[in-house]
């Protein structure tokens, strides 16, 4: 082995050389290692370089011992071999000897385990730490096998260590051993072979460190960290750390998850700040600056918009760690508080809504400390009584008591006590309080105890005050009205019976007692079917008791007009009645009221009325409605295979002359006499009807055309031979024009056959009058029809074409409320117009009479209703109170049209109450039975029905008994003259009075000035219509302007 001093001249570099006996000298420079010692540079060559390896690689202080020994030998050799360097060698030897002493002291006092082994792996030497572990004294160690020092229970590991050492290979790793006290230890153990020739007596060196406690702490730390991570995940809390010197960030996995970033995200000061929007970023930057300058931590609530598009709220908490007197790092935690923030926001919203609700309800609020008497009122509480809070200060419970009516104070206290005791869940009481101006204000107080003491007694109570003065006044008025109603029911001429929800009688008024034969007390508790003995046509019990039916069906019920009530004493009364359900405030059926009156004396009149409904009162013939019904039945039999028939339409010639010369009374007598001629001319089972004016129709059932022609010729002859003799003796001749059509399977509707006969009649008139024209008119006759002076036939063709081509247009005119208390939404009447093909519009007055004549009125009405419903559906019907649609007299008498209207309204899905069907008084009276049925069907659906042109008939009031409409439209002839005409004003006042009795509204038409409007408003008319308010315009435009409520 050779040591060279690289800092000396080349000739003097060798400072030590030693040749071991038996060693191959050629291998002495097989390995060379450089090292520094006291500032000089040396190189070590030769086989003993294992010692240097140990010095360089073990990293443990115990390994230095061997190197120190070697260094001492080197120093001594240098002193003897190099005389000229003796002084230097002595100095080096002295230093090395000192170092050796120090290293030996380190080896003895270090906590690491150090031992030297010989070639047989027996212990040569062990330091005190090793001796303490194995429980031996220093003099007991030499010569012992290594098993006595290191008791390794793992035999496989022990064998592997022995195998390594036998091959002179080092072993390094953690080993579990058992101490002499039986405790288990874990050692970080390193065993290395060394050259015994260089070390003297040892071939192996053992260096170990007891890592038992360190491993336990590491395991506990790992477990604690894992627990912390799991707890953070469960609590949704994350941790982070920032080095204020290096600006480095450390995040937990939970921080990555909470922020919604990719797991590969590397946090830094800049990109962490960029995760937050600008307002939040500024707060963080300010907090970070305070932490660096003052060491102040923070507790912030931050909003973040995550990369995946979510808005979340985080609570960020940070504390500062100090080092060397200055802030060194930040330790913090993040908690996702999104749910609590949203709950807080929702709660705040609820509080705001509650505040707005209280403000909207004009409620006064109060809080009362029951134990101290302290009270808090809001301004509205004082305002209800006309005060401000400042005027009432100081405020306590005595303030409340001093303002309360003395008669109500005891009751209020009693209600409070019941609530305090738990008998009532809340406090609710009505009482009076004195207003600042001296009058009494009715108050509804509600409240609840919301805190109680440990003794269970109430502490704080919260509540509200509502001003119910107007409601109380209304209740008083209602009570008075009830008393008035009860008195009225005792006094009216109708019988009134009430029953409960089980159908048991509860009350009879005096009229009912007299008609039924029971007193109210006697009947009370009995079933209505027992008290009310009803029959029809002598059959007792045939009509079910209307009270029972009303309870079963929950709707208004009426009896047939021929129902008889048999009194207890056997007296028989023909009655007319209605039974209506009674419902409580929740809409639950709670009883029935039945109202009826004795119509025995009117029964005959009713039969006469029925006759009048189907007959012309002047001639005694059937009227148009009844004629069309019979014609429909005849066509039905024909289409079912029955024999064909014929239909005639007749129009008198020169009738106007008699009317003009002799007057209308003479004209009426002439019509009656002609009617008798027609009846005599036909067969007994044929049907003769007057259509109106001087027009007649004849239905010949099961009659060949030849025979029909003979009958027509006989009528021509008989009428021609007839002379009307006036009162002055003058004689007048009239004639007749007849249109004749064959009734066979071609006709599906009677209206088509009537239209054809009417056209033929016009052809007869145009051809010279006094003749019969059959339906198959020749070319010449057709030309005459086209040139008819009144243009009726041309209108018939034009209207049919317009319907096919959809050339009608809807306009509308607004109907305006004239007084308070009536609905204020859009209310309008739909008006039909006909496009003339030249850009103009034709008013209905020009074509509706022709539509009626040619049986097209119902088609026009159907078109209008369909398009009105479609327009309303498209607009959504928003903000609309009512839309009125007119029906012609022809439609009123058409049962098929009734079904069409009901079906169309149901299919539209619109609220039925939005629609109002207007029927003219003339149409209703002409078709009274059909009109009544139509009105009932519409009202049962919920549609409003108005009687148009009211007052134009001779017996308008009388018809209101049969036509139970919802609204009266006063005819324009009265409205136009209301300012100057006393008769018109009196008529309108009577119309309004009747409407008030019936509980229906009135509408005045044709209002064209403000003066008329004010006059009608003063007279109590509910609605107005006319050019003063609005000129008709397209229906869709009206809906767009007024159909939607203002925002």
pLDDT tens-place string over residues 645-664? 999 999 998 888 788 778 88
DSSP 694: T
Lowest mean pLDDT among 264-273, 572-581, 947-956, 973-982: 947-956
Range of the domain at 380: 361-473
Q: Which two tokens stand for residue 824?
A: 């204020």
For residue 345, pLDDT beyond 70: yes
Q: Which of 746, 768, 789 is where one domain is finished?
A: 789
Same-domain status, 807 and 785: no
CA distances from 569 to 516, 517, 573 (A): 9, 7, 12
What is the DSSP pairing of strand 645-653 with strand 505-508? unpaired
Is 38 within the bounds of a domain?
yes
Q: Same structural domain for residues 1006 and 883?
A: yes
Q: Which of 181-190, 768-777, 790-799, 835-844 shows the lowest per-residue confidence on average (mean pLDDT)?
A: 790-799
Q: Under the phi-then-psi rule, with left for phi > 0, alpha for psi from -120 to 50, and beta for the rest, what region is 447?
A: beta
How many domains is the chain built from? 6
Domain-terminating residue out of 80, 110, 140:
110
Quick one: residue 243, left, alpha or beta (phi over 0 = left, psi -120 to 50 = alpha)? beta
Burial of 61 (0-12, 13-18, 19+ CB in 10 A): middle
Question: Does residue 675 share a domain with residue 580?
Answer: no
- Rounded to whole angstroms, how far apart are CA atoms 481 and 488? 10
Residues in the chain: 1047
Give pLDDT, residue 35.
63
pLDDT score of 711 more than 60: yes
> What pLDDT, on the 0 to 100 scale, is given for residue 359?
62
813 lies in the same domain as 669: no
pLDDT range class, residue 434, cuts 50, 70, 90 = very high
DSSP state of 643: P
d(CA 835, CA 801) in angstroms, rounded, equals 12
Residues 777, 806 share a domain? no
Tokens of 406: 């003395």
Q: How many of the other CB atoms lie within 10 Å of CB of 188?
A: 18
Domain boundary among 563, 598, 633: 598
Please state the three-class secondary structure of 731-781 as a single string. EEECEEEEEEEEECCCCCCHHHHHHHHHHHHHHHHHCCCCCEEECCCCHHH
Give the pLDDT confidence score for residue 66 in this predicted structure: 46
pLDDT of residue 737: 93
pLDDT at position 535 is 86
Q: Are residues 899 and 981 in the same domain?
A: yes
Q: Cβ contacts of residue 653 below 8 Å, gap of 6+? A: 734, 735, 736, 737, 765, 769, 770
Return the higher-pLDDT residue of 30 and 969: 969
Residue 625: inside a domain, yes or no? Answer: yes
Task: Report, in this order, helix, strand and coil percent for the chain, each rounded to 5.
Answer: 45, 25, 30
φ and ψ of 429, to 5 deg:
-160, 145
> Looking at the predicted structure, is the pLDDT value of residue 9 above 90?
no
Q: CA-to-CA distance for 320 and 518, rounded, in angstroms?
A: 98
Is the Cβ–Cβ distance between 258 and 332 less than 8 Å?
no
pLDDT at 99 over 80: no
% of the chain at pLDDT higher than 90: 30
Residue from 923, 856, 937, 840 nearest 886 by CA: 923
- Tell me, what's the pLDDT at 65? 47
Q: Would 605 be classed as within a structural domain?
A: no
Q: Is 166 left (phi over 0), alpha (psi -120 to 50) or beta?
A: alpha
Residues 326 and 372 in one domain: no
- Contacting residues for 461 by C-beta, under 8 A, at least 6 apart: 367, 368, 370, 427, 447, 448, 449, 450
What average pLDDT does the chain have?
82
Q: Is the pLDDT of residue 688 over 90?
A: yes
Both 376 and 327 in one domain: the answer is no
- Give how far Cα 947 sits from Cα of 117, 387, 556, 894, 921, Å: 130, 54, 22, 18, 6
Separation CA 249–CA 269 (nearest Å): 7
CA 698 to chain centre: 62
pLDDT digits (tens, 9 = 90+) for 920-967: 877 776 677 888 899 999 999 999 999 988 876 544 576 677 788 999
Task: Verify that 754 and 832 share a domain, yes or no.
Answer: no
Determine the distance from the C-alpha atom of residue 664 to the mean position of all C-alpha atoms in its chain, rounded to a whole number: 67
Of the candidates 742, 743, 741, 793, the residue with the CA atom closest to the CA atom of residue 765: 793
Residue 527 is predicted with a pLDDT of 93
Q: Report the SS3 class of residue 190.
A: strand
Is the per-residue pLDDT at 494 higher than 60?
Answer: yes
Q: Could you report the per-residue pLDDT of 1014-1023, keeping only the tens digit for each?
A: 999 999 999 9
pLDDT of residue 27: 38
In a domain, 181, yes or no: no
Both structure tokens of 260:
């919604």
Instruction: For residue 404, give the DSSP letter.
Output: B
CATH code of the domain covering residue 395: 3.30.450.20
Max distance between CA atoms of the chain, in angstroms, equals: 193
pLDDT of residue 56: 43
338 and 448 both lie in a single domain: no
Our CA angle for 379, 384, 385, nearest 5°, is 105
- Whose CA is closest to 46, among 79, 18, 71? 18
Cα(334)–Cα(999) distance, integer angstroms: 71
133 in a structural domain: no
Tokens of 800: 């049919």
CB atoms within 10 A of CB 244: 18
What are the tens digits of pLDDT across the range 838-859?
A: 888 888 877 787 777 677 888 9
Q: Which of 71-85, 361-375, 830-844, 906-920 has the highest mean pLDDT?
A: 906-920
Are residues 469 and 506 located together in one domain of the fold?
A: no
- 12 pLDDT band, cuts 50/70/90, is low
The answer to whether residues 87 and 220 touch, using CB atoms and an 8 Å cutoff, is: no
Contacts of 580 (CB under 8 A, 6+ apart): 550, 556, 557, 592, 593, 594, 595
CB-CB contact of 926 with 623 (8 Å)? yes
Radius of gyration from C-alpha coordinates of the chain:
59
In a domain, 561, yes or no: yes
Q: Is the pLDDT score of 770 beyond 90?
A: no
Q: Which domain CATH number covers 820?
A: 3.20.20.450
pLDDT of residue 911: 92
Residue 153 lies in a domain: no
CATH number of the domain enclosing 659: 3.30.70.270
Whether 698 is covered by a domain: the verdict is: yes
- Which runs of consecutive H residues, i.e. helices, occur in 142-184? 146-149, 155-166
Average pLDDT over residues 401-418: 92
The string of pLDDT tens digits covering residues 804-819 is 888 999 999 999 999 8
The token duo for 78 is 């240098």
| Inter-residue contact 189 to 93 (CB < 8 Å) | no
As beta bridge partners, residue 812 has 830, 1033
Query: Which is higher by pLDDT, 162 or 69?
Result: 162
Counting DSSP H helices and E strands in the chain, the numbers are 40, 45
- pLDDT tier, 49 (very low <50, low <70, confident <90, very high otherwise): very low
Residue 530, φ and ψ in degrees, nearest 5 = -80, -40
Task: State yes or no: pLDDT of 831 exceeds 90.
Answer: yes
| Beta bridge partner(s), residue 652 | 736
Rounded to whole angstroms, how far apart are CA atoms 254 and 240?
Answer: 10
Measured CA to CA in angstroms, residue 117 lies from 47, 114, 129, 130 at distances of 20, 10, 16, 13
User: Quick check: bond before 441 cis, omega within 30?
Assistant: no
At 890, which helix (H) or strand (E)? Answer: helix 889-892
Torsion of CA 151, 155, 156, 158, to 10 degrees: 30
For residue 455, name the pLDDT band (cuts at 50, 70, 90). confident
Shared-domain flag, residues 587 and 552: yes
Alpha carbons 149 and 134: distance in angstroms, whole number: 5
At residue 915's C-alpha, the angle toward residues 912 and 917, to 5°, is 120
Q: Helix 750-766 and helix 792-805: axis angle, to 10°?
A: 140
pLDDT tens readout for residues 178-228? 887 788 888 888 888 876 554 445 688 888 888 888 787 767 656 655 655
């Amino acid at each position: 082995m050779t040591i060279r001093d690289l800092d000396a001249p080349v000739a003097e570099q060798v400072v030590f050389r030693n040749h071991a006996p038996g060693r191959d000298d050629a291998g002495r420079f097989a390995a060379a290692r450089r090292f520094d010692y006291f500032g000089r540079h040396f190189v070590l060559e030769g086989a003993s370089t294992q010692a240097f390896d140990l010095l360089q690689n073990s990293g443990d202080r115990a390994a230095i011992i061997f190197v120190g020994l070697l260094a001492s030998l080197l120093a001594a050799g240098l002193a003897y071999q190099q005389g000229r360097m003796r002084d230097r060698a002595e100095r080096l030897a002295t230093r090395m000897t000192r170092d050796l002493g120090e290293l030996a002291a380190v080896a003895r006092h270090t906590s690491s385990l150090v031992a030297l082994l010989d070639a047989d792996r027996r212990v040569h030497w062990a330091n005190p730490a090793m001796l303490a572990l194995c429980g031996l004294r220093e003099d007991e160690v030499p010569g012992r096998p290594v098993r006595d020092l290191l008791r390794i229970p793992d035999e496989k590991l022990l064998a592997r260590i022995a195998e390594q050492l036998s091959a002179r290979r080092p072993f390094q790793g953690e080993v579990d051993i058992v101490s002499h006290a039986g405790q288990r230890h874990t050692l970080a153990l390193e065993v290395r072979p060394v050259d015994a020739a260089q070390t003297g007596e040892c071939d192996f060196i053992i260096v170990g460190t007891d890592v038992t406690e360190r491993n336990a702490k590491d395991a506990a730390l790992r477990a604690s960290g894992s627990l912390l991570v799991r707890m953070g995940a469960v609590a949704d809390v994350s941790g982070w750390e920032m080095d204020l010197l290096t600006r480095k960030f450390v995040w937990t996995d939970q921080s990555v998850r909470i922020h919604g970033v990719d797991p590969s995200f590397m946090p830094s000061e800049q990109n962490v700040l960029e995760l937050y929007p600008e307002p939040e970023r500024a707060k963080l930057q300010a907090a970070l600056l305070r932490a660096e300058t003052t060491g102040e931590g923070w507790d912030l609530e931050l909003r973040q918009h995550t990369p995946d598009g979510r808005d979340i709220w985080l609570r960020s908490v940070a504390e500062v760690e100090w080092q060397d007197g200055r802030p060194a790092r930040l330790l913090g935690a993040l908690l996702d508080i999104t749910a609590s923030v949203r709950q807080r926001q929702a709660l705040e919203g609820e509080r705001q809504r509650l505040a707005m609700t209280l403000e909207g309800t004009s409620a006064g609020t109060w809080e009362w400390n029951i134990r101290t008497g302290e009270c808090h009122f809001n301004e509205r509480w004082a305002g209800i009584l006309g005060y401000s809070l400042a005027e009432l200060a100081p405020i306590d419970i005595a303030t409340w008591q001093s303002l309360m009516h003395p008669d109500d104070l005891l009751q209020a206290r009693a209600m409070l006590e019941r609530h305090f005791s738990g008998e009532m869940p809340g406090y609710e009481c009505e009482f009076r309080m004195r207003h600042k101006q001296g009058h009494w204000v009715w108050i509804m107080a509600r409240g609840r105890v919301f805190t109680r003491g440990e003794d269970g007694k109430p502490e704080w109570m919260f509540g509200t005050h509502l001003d119910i003065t107007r409601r109380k006044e209304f209740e008083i008025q209602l009570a008075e009205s009830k008393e008035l109603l009860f008195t009225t029911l005792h006094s009216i001429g109708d019988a009134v019976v009430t029953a409960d929800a089980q159908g048991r009688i509860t009350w009879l008024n005096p009229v009912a007692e007299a008609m039924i034969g029971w007193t109210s007390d006697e009947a009370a508790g009995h079933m209505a079917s027992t008290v009310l003995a009803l029959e029809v046509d002598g059959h007792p019990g045939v009509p079910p008791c209307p009270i029972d039916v009303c309870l079963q069906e929950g709707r208004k019920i009426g009896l047939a007009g021929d129902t008889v009530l048999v009194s207890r004493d056997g007296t028989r009364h023909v009655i007319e009645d209605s039974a209506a359900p009674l419902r409580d405030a929740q809409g639950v059926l709670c009883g029935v009221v039945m109202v009826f009156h004795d119509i025995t004396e009117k029964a005959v009149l009713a039969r006469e009325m029925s006759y009048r409904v189907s007959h012309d009162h002047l001639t005694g013939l059937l009227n148009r409605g009844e004629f069309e019904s019979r014609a429909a039945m005849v066509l039905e039999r024909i289409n079912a295979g029955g024999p064909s028939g014929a239909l005639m339409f007749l129009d008198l010639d020169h009738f106007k002359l008699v009317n003009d010369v002799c007057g209308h009374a003479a004209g009426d007598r002439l019509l009656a006499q002609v009617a008798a001629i027609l009846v005599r001319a036909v067969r007994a089972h044929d049907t003769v009807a007057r259509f109106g004016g001087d027009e007649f129709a004849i239905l010949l059932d099961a009659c060949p055309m030849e025979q029909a022609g003979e009958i027509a010729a006989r009528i021509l002859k008989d009428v021609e031979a007839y002379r009307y003799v006036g009162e002055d003796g003058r004689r007048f001749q009239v004639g007749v024009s007849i249109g004749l059509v064959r009734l066979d399977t071609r006709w599906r509707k009677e209206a088509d056959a009537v239209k054809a006969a009417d056209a033929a009649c016009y052809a007869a008139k145009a051809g010279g009058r006094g003749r019969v024209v059959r339906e198959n008119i020749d070319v010449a006759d057709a030309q005459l029809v086209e040139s008819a002076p009144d243009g009726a036939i041309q209108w018939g063709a034009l209207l049919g074409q317009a319907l096919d081509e959809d050339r009608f247009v809807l306009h509308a005119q607004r109907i305006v409320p004239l007084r308070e208390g009536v609905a204020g939404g859009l209310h309008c009447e739909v008006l039909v117009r006909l496009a003339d093909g030249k850009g103009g519009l034709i008013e209905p007055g020009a074509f509706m009479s022709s539509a009626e004549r040619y049986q097209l009125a119902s088609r026009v009405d159907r078109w209008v209703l369909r398009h009105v419903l479609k327009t309303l559906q498209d607009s959504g019907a928003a903000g609309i109170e009512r839309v009125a649609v007119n029906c012609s007299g022809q439609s009123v008498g058409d049962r098929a049209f009734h079904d069409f209207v009901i079906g169309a309204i149901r299919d539209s899905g619109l609220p039925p109450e939005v629609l109002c069907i207007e029927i003219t008084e003339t149409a209703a009276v002409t078709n009274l039975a059909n009109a009544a049925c139509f009105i009932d069907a519409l009202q049962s659906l919920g549609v409003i029905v108005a009687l148009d042109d009211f007052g134009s008939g001779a017996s308008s009031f009388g018809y209101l008994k049969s036509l139970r409409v919802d609204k009266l439209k006063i005819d324009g002839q009265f409205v136009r003259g209301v300012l100057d005409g006393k008769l018109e004003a009196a008529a309108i006042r009577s119309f309004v009075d009747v409407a008030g009795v019936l509980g229906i509204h009135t509408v005045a038409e044709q209002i064209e000035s403000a003066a008329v409007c004010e006059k009608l408003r003063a007279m109590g008319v509910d609605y107005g219509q006319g050019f003063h308010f609005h000129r008709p315009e397209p229906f869709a435009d009206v809906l767009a302007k007024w159909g939607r409520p203002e925002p």
